[in-house]
Chains A and B, each alone.
Chain A
Amino acid sequence: MRVAMRLGAWLEAAIEAMLRFAKAMTSPGDTGPDARLEIAWTSGVRDATWGLALRAAPREGAVIALCRVSSGASRRTLIVQDPLPPQEGDLSYHRGYVVTITSRYWNRVIDDLSGRSPETGIAVLHTHPGRGTPLWSTDDDTADRELAAFLFGEGFLKGSAPLVSIVVSADQLRARELRWTKDAGVRMHMVTRWRTLSRSRFEFRRTADAGPDVYQPPSWADRSVRVFGRDGQRLLADVHVAFVGTGGVGSITAEDSARMGFGRMSLWDPDIIKSVNINRSGSFTFADAQRGAGKAETLAAMIGRVALVRDIWLCWRKADVRHSREFARLLDVDVINMAVDDVRVRNFVNALAYAHFIPVLDAGNVIRSTAEDDVTVDAATVEAGGARVSVLVPGGPCLWCSGHITSRKLSLAYRTEAEVTADRARGYVEHLGPEHAPSVMPMNAMTAALVELRLQDLLYGLSKRPVSEVYYDLIGGTLDELPRDRVDGCRHCELVEGLGDAAELLHADD
């Protein structure tokens, strides 16, 4: 009877996991007109639009900004940036408080647009002073329809460019994308979520048009609800976090994240599990290594068994995340945790973070030991070691600014294993590094913990400080914040920031 019960429980878990995979693998669809709509902006742009417009209270205020699109598999993100604040005479008022954008303001915006790429569109934000959910008035509806018909109809906006109407109160935002065709006229599509990014905080909020958040934290979330409250647990359930690299650090971070209560997770790793992975990873077993199981697949199965959110949305991909067929799925996520050695992947995801407004926590560690090139030695000395977590977010420095990616490191990453082996045999090629990087569980667990703590800080706004990089020194035993600044005109972050679909990213199959 006991055996039967165990078998029954095992079967139930297996069926549950299979159903979860089936759900995950059929979920991503093509981006179409009905894709989920979200807004993304930096806190600086939010303040320069929403914040500025609110200053007109008790009258309505208005600000126009530029807008570009990031097209995911099931999410279309409207990236709002480059505000064009109103000047004297740009706004007029009816009945003393209802704002109108004058032709003078529109002419300035149209002039600005003419010098930009055809994918560039417009976001028009106006305020309804007071608190609570703002409602579009009949006047707003009429004005939006006329605006779309004019801008698209006269060719000032190309068909692929976004036009967004945003209305805000003192504390809430609603928005809709206005699309126009000659035959169908104007159609309005509601924005259901907005993401505000800064170096000290990642905020994800639903609009009133998203419908009620029905997620109820389960009783087994008791201890963490006592930390961040039920809303704090709901926040995690609403965040889609991706893991690029599910090896030593990534596997631990992903499993912990599932236990914390993230509601949607996507995993990318092209590798299979080997026996040498077991003593420095989470989740993996020698049986997994024996059958040559994929890392992402195996981790997903574990996550299905331990996730706090029992109907977690899971997607795993045994693939190089740089491949073009993976791209749309990656653009659906809110935050990326990256833990990979491959500089090509790190360079790709680095650019994506800025171009598509998807923040990244990049983690890595290194140990220098006298045994690193010879596993036959009995005595070894650890000479140095450290773990690092860098935050890549629009407005902040990127991995190039911080020197973690250089032209030389990137060049070396494109060499095949055969070339590296041949150069090792030559013996006089410098800076090739050890054949296999030394690694131990405590350093990977430490790195994973730093990633989780940094993400927790950024989601809940604990420190309220911009911390671009933390570094743990294995020998010194110290944990430091490293000063990192953006390099002016950096072509890897500043110059691609917010370009969305217009950004040229180098896919592995290009």
Chain B
Amino acid sequence: MKGWRGLAVGAAALAVTVAGCGTSPSGTTAAESSGPKTLTVWLMDGSAPTTLTDALNKEFQDSNKDVTVKYEVQKWGGIQEKLTTALTSDTPPDVIELGNTQTPKFASEGTLLDLTGDAANLNGSEWLGGLKDSLTWENKQFGLPFYASNRTVLYRTDLFEAAGITAAPTSNDEWLAAIEKLKTANASNPDFQALYLPGQSWYTLLSFIWDQGGDVAKKDGDKFVGSLDSAQAKAGVDFYKKLVDASGTKAPKDTDEAKPQQMEVFGTGNVAMMIGLPWELGGAVKANPDLEKKTSAFPIPSKTAGKAAPVFLGGSNLAIPAGSKNVDLAKSYLKLLSSKKYQDQLGAAGTVPGTSKDTASLASNPVGKALAASSANGKVTPATPKWAAVEAGQNPLKDMLTAYLTGAKSLDQATGDANTALTALLGG
């Protein structure tokens, strides 16, 4: 009986606790029709310069009374998982930015608002082709292009001059020769790295594979199957290893360019080259302002002298989640962002604007020039909703690189295993 009483008291206490959980204020109540509204905008880290977004948000708030723009910058790492959760929730953000390789997955599953009818209003005639393809699913447009960019070799002009390199390399052989010269000239600096190249920089690997004439996957009927076991793809992987070995890079072989952020390593001043996006150079300059006058860029060289290697055309699209509560506001926000005024600012910031064909602002600096030169040769990953799973989970391309670079697997074994895994992901 004593036991009963004890248990009962415990039960009552627990009930109070549980009830306490239940009655705690349950967050936000969405303001639907009238009164102040909040437009939640998620853009990605490094996308649009803050000068642009500050001006944009201010202009939008000034012209829409009672509207507050809740502007949040998201990190690329883990963004797919975050979007999956956000888009299936009751209160998704109102405007989101999606990587072009991720867009097909979200478009094909009906998580995004169909913007086909609004294209004319959003500068539809000037949309960037490569990005437009990525946001089109079954002939409908589920977003609008934001910007495109691609990797170039970002380098230190002062170190190149000091090493006696007069012109930027235009072939793989010249590139390797430049690395040797840089190493000799900086032999006294133990922290020096001629090229910073982490083991899992797989977008860079794509360039090498394409340059050799291979591809990661090929279309087989209505499915994609891996083609990493082709001789061309293997040659691309092999060149990656050649670069890592020749440069003596101290970068970890089992992480990508974001761990640690390669721009931070470049910012230390002991690195002569890195393969990266323009915003990464911006980040390095921010950390070390001395670098601003000493840096430039050249397109990733090809095996054929005088040509540029094909590059992965990276980019972003803007979209409105299907569950957004502020569709009209979101559309007018996107209309403002797609106007020439803001598109020119994107170009000036060193990216190819998504809704304006006028790229004059882009070629105003050396990095932009290199970008424009190589983006003509831009390619994309297989256009299938399944591709997102390759990037979000355990990317077989990354595992392949680490296994081969560390010597854990032979070239044949590493590419073979990765191919099997890739085919399974693209098929499943």
A binds B: no
Residues of B in contact with A (beta carbons under 8 Å apart): none
